[in-house]
Amino acid sequence: MTARPLSVCVYCGSRDGADPAYAKAAEDTGTMIARNGWRLVYGAGDVGLMGRTARATQTAGGDTFGVIPQHLMDWEVGKTDLTTFIVTETMHERKKVMLMNADAVVVLPGGAGSLDEMFEALTWRQLKLHSKPIYVLNINGYWDPLLTLITHTIDQGFADANLLDFTTFLPTVHDLETALKA
């Protein structure tokens, strides 16, 4: 029996951000996912880093699994040419479908939505609702303040030290690929 390919859930911005390195990392991540024969699971947007990751995955011949709530179809310009395209009723349903269809979570630079998705996956991991690894791609130190915040919550007694065990901060797509292969 053949094992099914790894499904990698990518949370990232619906904008490109200020540093061109973020767009390159998104494209490199999509290409890397396809090169390894893995499937991209993401928010089904065709804009910003989301669109870049999906287009790079498709260009490299990879499978794409996109999930978008109906109310964001126009705003995020839903990318309907994916291998699998699902429209949900709510944001919560979107996050659940994405996480349940993935084996690992990757967080690229992004804004409030990416933070929301990452913290929900982290909280669910803390509550033992899943055991999937969560990788934070810390391009040019973008997520350094997040690491400081997580450490602060631990230092101030609002979380156990193992919260840091549930997230792995990685500086490059190459490091991410190595971690996903492990």
Token pair 């390195």 in the structure block, residue: 21
Tokens of 100: 């349940």
Q: 104 CB contacts (<8 Å, ≥6 apart)?
A: 6, 7, 8, 9, 132, 133, 134, 135, 180
Provide, rounded to the nearest whole percent, the portion of the chain with pLDDT above 90: 92
Separation of CA 180 from chain center: 13
**Domains (ranges, CATH) in the chain?**
7-177 (3.40.50.450)
Separation of CA 71 from chain center: 21
Q: What phi and psi, each to the nearest 5 degrees, are found at residue 38? A: -90, 170
Pairing of strands 134-137, 104-107: parallel
Token pair 């699971």 in the structure block, residue: 41
Q: What average pLDDT values come out for the chain (182 residues) when binned by 10 residues?
A: 83 97 98 98 95 98 96 79 94 96 98 96 96 98 97 97 95 98 94
DSSP conformation letters of 77-119: TB---SSEEEEESSHHHHHHHHHHT-SEEEE-S--HHHHHHHH
**Residues 136-172: tens digit of each pLDDT:** 999 999 999 999 999 999 999 999 999 999 999 999 9
Rounded CA-CA distance 176/121 in Å is: 18
* Average pLDDT score, the chain: 95
Are the CB atoms for 106 and 135 separated by under 8 Å? yes
pTM to 2 decimal places: 0.94
Question: Alpha carbon of 79 to those of 42, 43, 82: distances in Å?
Answer: 11, 9, 7
